[in-house]
Structure formats: C-alpha cells, structure tokens
Amino acid sequence: MIDQEKKVELLKMAVKGSENAHCPYSNFRVGAAVLGKSGKVYLGGNIENVSYGATVCAERVAIWKAVSEGEKEFEAIAVIGPGKKEAYPCAQCRQVMVEFGLDWLVISGDSQGNYLGEKTVREIVPFPFVPSALLGE
C-alpha cells in the first residue's frame, strides 16, 4: 500500500520521465514512473520512431527499464499525459502490466503531476489473459 504523498511523489517523477520523451511526430508527451517492490523507481517517456510502428509508450519504457534491471514486482505506476485530462495506458501497455500481476496500482495525473485518479491493473483489464493460462499454475 502506498499513501497519497507517495502517489503524488510518483506523479512528479512521471513528469520528470516525460521530459526525456522523444515525441516529434505526435507531440503527445507522456511520462511514467514505476515503483518496484524494492522501493526503486524507474522513469520512462514515450519514444517515437519515424516508422511510427516502432514507437514505444512511456509506460513500457519504464517497465522495460525495471525488468531489465531485475525488478519484476511492482507496487504502482504513475502515468501523466499532456494537458489536464486523466492519462491511462493503452491496451498494449495494459497487457504488459498484466504480465507482472493484477493487483498493483495505475495512478493517473495531468501534465503537472497533479493527482487525477487511480485504478488497479485488474480494474482496467477485465477478463485478462494471464501468464497462468500458459504456465498452468
């Protein structure tokens, strides 16, 4: 469980993540900060590509960084987008989140890192395709 202060701290870190986004094509700047169970935070910004299809969302950049550093269990991910609207992950990123559990938190904020809401991965992915489907656990 993380308290409100920590959630806002994570949102502010997501803003930091957005500062290194590479988004010349959409100009849609997204930032993410994922908090591992170790306590470490990994930042991400969306990284676009001229081919468009090779673009990676901020959430996955942050999660790939964490997993590649050996962190596979998460407490929460904070996501911020441009403007004042709630930012929630795309469906591909949701599936990547499911890979690492259903009971962790997605915290949504605006471009300034103001808190706008939260959901669990379970809530934003109803009827999930889970690792146990293949692993048979």
Active site residues: 59
Stretch in the footprint of ligand THU (CB under 6 A) among 20-28, 64-72, 99-107, 110-118: 20-28
Residue 93 Cβ, how far from ligand THU at the closest point, in Å? 5
Calpha distance 123→23 (Å, rounded): 29
Alpha-carbon span 65 to 60, nearest angstrom: 8
Element (H, E) at 14: helix 4-19
Q: Which of 89, 97, 118, 124 binds ligand THU (CB under 6 A)?
A: 89
| Residue of the chain from 20, 55, 95, 120 that contacts ligand THU (CB under 6 A) | 55
Judged by CB under 6 A, the residue of 30, 77, 96, 125 near ligand THU is: 30
Q: How many residues bind ligand THU (CB under 6 A)?
A: 13
Nearest alpha-carbon partner for 74 in 39, 114, 29, 30: 39
Which residue from 123, 120, 109 is spatially nearest to 32, judged by alpha carbons? Answer: 109
* Residue 90 near ligand THU by CB under 6 A: yes
Token pair in block for residue 73: 């269990």
Any idea what DSSP says for residue 69?
T
Q: Is 97 in the site for ligand THU (CB under 6 A)?
A: no
Binding site for ligand THU (CB under 6 A): 23, 26, 28, 30, 46, 48, 55, 57-59, 89-90, 93
